[in-house]
Amino acid sequence: MKIGLGLYRHMLTRDYYDFARQAGCTHVVVHLVDYFNQGTSPGSAQVSSNPRNNQPSGGKYEPWGLAGDPEKLWTVAELKSLRSDIENAGLVLAAIENIDPAHWHDILLDGPQRAQQIEKVKTLIRRLGDAGVPVLGYNFSLAGVCGRVTARQGRGDAITLGMDGPAEDVPIPNGTIWNMVYDPKAPTGNLPSISHDELWRRLQSFLEEVVPVAEKAGVRLAAHPDDPPMPTMRQQPRLVYQPHMYQRLIDLAPSRSNSLELCVGTMAEMTEGNIYDAVDQYSKQGKIAYIHLRNVVGKVPNYRETFIDEGDVDMLRIMAILHRNNFDGVLIPDHTPQMTCSAPWHAGMAHTLGFMLAAKAALESPQRYGIVAGPAAQGQK
Ligand SMILES: [Mn+2]
């Protein structure tokens, strides 16, 4: 297994790459969607107060920000230059995480621009292949990451995110998808609710069309589960909200290019199944492209994010399962509570990465540390 760091768009600078190296990372996962964009045109209303110094949070129903320019698809030159900047800093670009809602809203919505947007996503995948980017993470979700609240309820009074009940009261307004505004001029009104079957049908058509292109391009599509994993949010269905639903996604299009961006925190919030069995099941199949590591206390709709070394999940046990199943992809910290200092995000990441490095060292050289695998450890899932 490899240790990496996820960087948001405004963090794609040499300072952040150096920070990643200093914290012991060999790889980075990059977000090219600017979740924090509040628009620049004079007189345009700010859509949210999503601060840049943390994971994108928004309010319970407040969008993160404005989607990008529908006409500007990331180019091979941009991707290659990003990759070479990262490599010049001594790191490897492991994945691009998430597709801009501006480029695929009508794939999620089955809207009038669907056919054109399928072509855009295919082009994007080919460009990733040309630029030598091996993985594209995505989240096939209408409501996206929403419904969470921020509170000072972490260890040592850290500010952390969580849920304090369902988020069904406010439907998704027209012009918004995946918690971002792609059309600020959309007519007033809300998205009509659809069924779970319809959402799965949309995913299936998407995979049938793009997976063959991804195979040819040598790119793995990697699906994030629904965060938070509720059956419905904002009166719309969710896709992968229990651990076994990932298997359905995999089986829709059997291919190395149809893979998972497995989020341990999100899966720990699910109300059914067992997180250790799930990580075992999917890593054994070689279906995990990369991993988000995060700990939580509780389950939907009442949970909060915690530091890596506390919470409901035994992270060493998760990493031991991955090690035993020869997982050779990248693990990145997902989110952490904000640490009280002048660089809360950096401190949270460095703390998590230190834990991950120590766990990796112990798992890879058990004899050196006198950790002998006994029958109990071997039989443990
Ligand atoms: Mn995640």
pTM of this structure: 0.94
What confidence tens digit (pLDDT) does each residue in 200-212 have?
999 999 999 999 9
pLDDT score, position 43: 46
Instruction: Please give the distance, rounded to the nearest whole angstrom, from the Cα atom of residue 132 to the centre of ligand 1.
Output: 24
Q: Which fold has domain 2-379?
A: TIM Barrel (3.20.20)
Instruction: Please give the distance, rounded to the nearest whole angstrom, from the Cα atom of residue 49 to the centre of ligand 1.
Output: 21
Instruction: Please give the distance, rounded to the nearest whole angstrom, from the Cα atom of residue 108 to the centre of ligand 1.
Output: 19
- Residue 269 has phi, psi (to 5 degrees) of -80, -10
Query: What distance in Å separates the CA atoms of residue 143 and residue 309, rounded to the nearest whole number?
Result: 30
Question: CA-based angle 278:281:285, to the nearest 5?
Answer: 140
Instruction: Please give the distance, rounded to the nearest whole angstrom, from the Cα atom of residue 139 to the centre of ligand 1.
Output: 10
Query: Which residue has tokens 């998972």?
Result: 260
Q: Check pLDDT > 80 for residue 374.
A: no
Query: What distance in Å separates the CA atoms of residue 154 and residue 307, rounded to the nearest whole number?
Result: 8
> 61, 60, 136: which is closest to 93 by C-alpha?
136
What confidence tens digit (pLDDT) does each residue in 176-186 have?
999 999 999 99
Instruction: Please give the distance, rounded to the nearest whole angstrom, from the Cα atom of residue 28 to the centre of ligand 1.
Output: 15
Query: Percentage of residues in the chain with pLDDT exceeding 90?
Result: 85
What confidence tens digit (pLDDT) does each residue in 280-321 have?
999 999 999 999 999 999 999 999 999 999 999 999 999 999
The residue that leads in pLDDT, 37 or 171, is 171
Q: Check pLDDT > 50 for residue 42.
A: no
Instruction: Please give the distance, rounded to the nearest whole angstrom, from the Cα atom of residue 303 to the centre of ligand 1.
Output: 15
What confidence tens digit (pLDDT) does each residue in 109-129 have?
999 999 999 999 999 999 999
Q: What is the DSSP string of 182-239?
A: S-TTPPSSBPPP--HHHHHHHHHHHHHHHHHHHHHHT-EEEEPPPSS--SEETTEE-S
Least confident among 138-152, 277-291, 311-325, 363-377:
363-377
> 252, 148, 256: which is closest to 206 by C-alpha?
252
Q: Check pLDDT > 80 for residue 379.
A: no
Instruction: Please give the distance, rounded to the nearest whole angstrom, from the Cα atom of residue 208 to the centre of ligand 1.
Output: 25
Q: Check pLDDT > 90 for residue 192.
A: yes
Three-state DSSP at 322 gives: helix
Instruction: Please give the distance, rounded to the nearest whole angstrom, from the Cα atom of residue 369 to the centre of ligand 1.
Output: 31
Count Cα neighbours of 366 within 13 Å in the Cβ-side half-sphere: 10
Cis amide leading into 228 (omega within 30): yes
Instruction: Please give the distance, rounded to the nearest whole angstrom, from the Cα atom of residue 367 to the centre of ligand 1.
Output: 33
Instruction: Please give the distance, rounded to the nearest whole angstrom, from the Cα atom of residue 334 to the centre of ligand 1.
Output: 5
What confidence tens digit (pLDDT) does each residue in 70-100 have?
999 999 999 999 999 999 999 999 999 999 9
